[in-house]
Structure 1
């Protein structure tokens, strides 16, 4: 059986067309990310998984109930803009925020091969999420980040017996695609007054 990373939709393969980021592709790639964290076991990424999973659900609900007018993430947000309850948009803002955190942490890991994973995730947390959280949440996250696997364990679990070198190459491609989407959506959401990532 092929390793998980070779079977899920990569963010590098999410279609970006004239109107924006393809909603269905984006949701499929986001689901793949959550399942990747499941491979690590023990719930050390529970705070990330739960947040991302809940926000994927919120965006999916909006997409399913308004699929004709939500082909792209941008369409989904614009279609909801005039409504009193903008739950799908709020979930999308938080989802993009969680993806930005994950993307930056894994990019840190690839750029600084001498740092342990918890250091990479701490840097990303401080840059992306810390200012959104209360002191209590920051304390809980700090403990959770210290419990992430060691760098080698992370790669071994995600590779699932496949080539770590191939995983590293595909991860770099995957992260480039994710970074492009995060930047695009962050700008769109901010400039449109829909929320700040």
Structure 2
């Protein structure tokens, strides 16, 4: 499910990375009610516990429920494009999506280790301080020093597959992913070099 396109998710994204109709106080997800959907639709790519073993498929465990619900709604509306995910969510009701978001947000994310230590060290500088002179802000300013994210726009990134993070940055840069509020991620990604993206993705994978 390349670019699934779903860290973020799609970690993240999400991210990693415009908001769905906000759930009101009475509209809350039931993790237990999502279990059958997880087993039937989600586990094959994202695993039952949300710690996807495949680098192309985002880890969902521990992502904020508001962020997850937003992404699911936007896959369904088409605001976020993915032939695979749009098919997966086509039959889901708004409550189903709330339930799934609650389920995966309650799962425990498993830490990962950066595969390329030298590349990750270069990425650490970008994550913490941005790219001076290029107009790239520190990733930590929105996603947090430890990559925990800020609900609901800025997803948890810590431990997300590096390949997925890179794929999302590239999608933002090319405009293939366009569900970021105020074009924030698209604006940032266009100022990053390919080397910048690979470095920060390597650092995020080992962030905990």
Q: TM-score range with shorter-chain normalisation?
A: under 0.3
Structure 2 length as normaliser, TM-score?
Answer: 0.22
| Bigger-Rg structure (1/2) | 1
Structure 1 length as normaliser, TM-score?
Answer: 0.22
Which of the two has greater helix per residue?
1
